Amino acid sequence: MERIKDLNCLLDKQRELEHIMEVRRANVEHSEYKEFLICGGTGCVSAASLELLENMKKEIANLGLGEKANASITGCFGFCEKGPIVKVFPEDVFYVGVKPEDGSRIIKAHLIEGTKVERLLYEEPTLKMKVETQHEMEFYKKQERIALRNCGLINPELIEEYIANRGYEALGKCLLQRTQDEVINEIKHSGLRGRGGGGFPTGLKWEFAKRSKSDIKYVVCNADEGDPGAFMDRSILEGDPHSIIEAMTINGYAIGANKGFVYIRAEYPLAIKRLKNALKQAKEAGLLGKDIMGTGFDFDIAIKYGAGAFVCGEETALIHSIEGGRGEPTTKPPFPAESGLWGKPTSVNNVETLANIPAILINGADWYNKMGSKTSKGTKVFALAGKINNVGLVEVPMGITLREIIYDIGGGIKDNKKFKAVQTGGPSGGCITADQLDVHIDYESLSAIGSMMGSGGMIVIDEDNCIVDIAKFYLEFTVEESCGKCTPCRVGNKRLYEMLTKITEGKGTVEDLEDMRKLAEVIKLTSLCGLGQTAPNPILSTMKYFYDEYLAHVVDKRCPSGVCQALLRYIISAEKCIGCTKCARVCPVSCISGKVKQAHLIDQDLCIKCGACFDACPVNAISKG
């Protein structure tokens, strides 16, 4: 692409490329031209979506229809449970679970036969019928995509497609039509708060960095996404890397910085590849580097790799890692906006926060702050996972209820199991129960019930999950990821984990529960950084709402969900047992006795609780208790 010299040049380029978006916006209702967008996110790539893409391209070429159709990759559609995804424009037809060999069938159906491939359409479980278009699907009806606006719409590897969808327009208008203060005030007025978990007002953070006097300032994008089950930032970088480059450059202009860093974990190879490609394209187009759009403003971005340390999601630890030091947090103040990277004022924002910036500056702060709740404006992206029918990435307006996310968007609990809880905020968050499903999702509401927004992980738990085991899982993660700098986190969380292990092994006491609660409160009050201060949250919230389950472990020495192996008892029902001997034949320690066609019995002293008998029984006569 030729160099973009000024704002008029950029707007001319947008008009020139408008045809790219026309068909995708369904503005050409009866167009013979078809576009097939194939999900190119990590999940779908791992399920052979790139092979599918190549097959569809070959079929178009073989049929000599290159003038009438195009197949290309796009970012994550969010419907990860049903990938790979193919969307057909302009009809808005949405195919799920598409295999590479299905590519030619889709091409022939739409380009030659004028039909659809019925078997690849999504079937709504509640309606028991096939749904043809994306906008008819319950999964999308309550979503509002802003941070994810380009994912599923543009090819992330082509800057032309980003520009065609008003990309870099916000940057051009900021550099040529707005002062630094005007940009910052617009972000402040929008009500945008940090989406990395802290929820601090973004515009205020930028204002602090601008006010700090220094010859050098920095902009840092925090792409160190470490929560178990979270993939919001990765998906944005894979599907819309130019939005992050544009937002960082705007941030640099607003605070007076000329250098930016994207701190990204090395485990994100696809996101890194597309980000590198986008940086190269932006520089070649004159939208990054020296004298951007002829304004005299210089801004460049470098990539720094993280080794996957969860603590480096904390901004001061991240800064130390970029500097080449250990990823350990430091006390605040001073905050990074005053003294950050190499002691210079630094604006640190996470990927999702930055992804909102261009949209806000194009559409206006009033447009943005009309969405959401009174104190939490706009939308939030959540990685919906666990025991849920529709696993995937969802972006919803702040203020929506958990019930709407889990049952309307998520399609309810898998296998019609009973909902038990949902863990929000990852290892730093807490469990929310069925009684709280109608709570509105915003920073203050979640905090009031002992959880938190976090970066956006949302893991659904059903009746088969042991709540004590869930708390132990998160604490084990925190202990492993602690940097070890402060004693409350390094030692205190280790002791909590040991107590939980003791309880799940049937060796705990009621006194242990009280000791655990007291220690958790001390750790919250005395740890150095947010990781340590929030690490006990999974224990405190589960003890608050599921104390009876903890008591069952320490008093009755049983696990109500049948998860904790040391507390398991496999019992054969005399009424159901048909004496087939299958259980006895698979038992590795010969602890099952009984004659053919007579009820069998398990010797609990010999049983090693392997579960082989449970799996082998053909009549479900064996239960876990």
Q: What's the topology of domain 32-137?
A: Glutaredoxin (3.40.30)
Whether pLDDT at 467 is above 60: yes
Band the pLDDT of 539: cuts 50, 70, 90: very high
Which class in CATH covers the domain with range 569-624?
alpha beta
CATH code for the structural domain at 467-554: 1.20.1440.230
Band the pLDDT of 26: cuts 50, 70, 90: low
The upper half-sphere exposure of residue 308, i.e. CA atoms within 13 Å in the direction of its Cβ, equals 7
Of 141-145, 196-200, 492-496, the one with minimum mean pLDDT is: 196-200
Of 210-224, 245-259, 442-456, 601-615, the one with minimum mean pLDDT is: 442-456
Higher pLDDT, 225 or 602: 602
Of 238-242, 247-251, 271-275, 412-416, the one with minimum mean pLDDT is: 412-416
Characterize the bridge pairing of strands 218-223 and 259-265: parallel
Q: Could you read off the pLDDT of 252-266 as tens digits, one per residue?
A: 999 999 999 999 999
Whether pLDDT at 27 is above 70: no
Token representation of residue 87: 């969307």
- Alpha-carbon distance 61 to 67, whole Å? 10
Whether pLDDT at 30 is above 60: no
CATH code for the structural domain at 379-462: 3.10.20.600
344-369 average pLDDT score = 96
Domain boundaries, the chain: 32-137, 159-368, 379-462, 467-554, 569-624
49-77 average pLDDT score = 94
Cβ-contact 560, 552 below 8 angstroms: yes
381-389 average pLDDT score = 92
pLDDT of residue 111: 92
Characterize the bridge pairing of strands 346-350 and 218-223: parallel
Token representation of residue 505: 């092994």
104-131 average pLDDT score = 90
Cβ-contact 357, 248 below 8 angstroms: no
pLDDT of residue 426: 80
- Chain centre to alpha carbon of residue 196: 11
CATH code for the structural domain at 159-368: 3.40.50.11540
pLDDT of residue 495: 96
290-298 average pLDDT score = 95
Whether pLDDT at 229 is above 80: no
Task: Please state, rounded to an integer, the average pLDDT across all residues of the chain.
Answer: 92
- Alpha-carbon distance 77 to 339, whole Å? 39
pLDDT of residue 28: 59
pLDDT of residue 445: 86
Whether pLDDT at 460 is above 80: yes
CA distances 619 to 196, 537, 583, Å, are 49, 42, 11
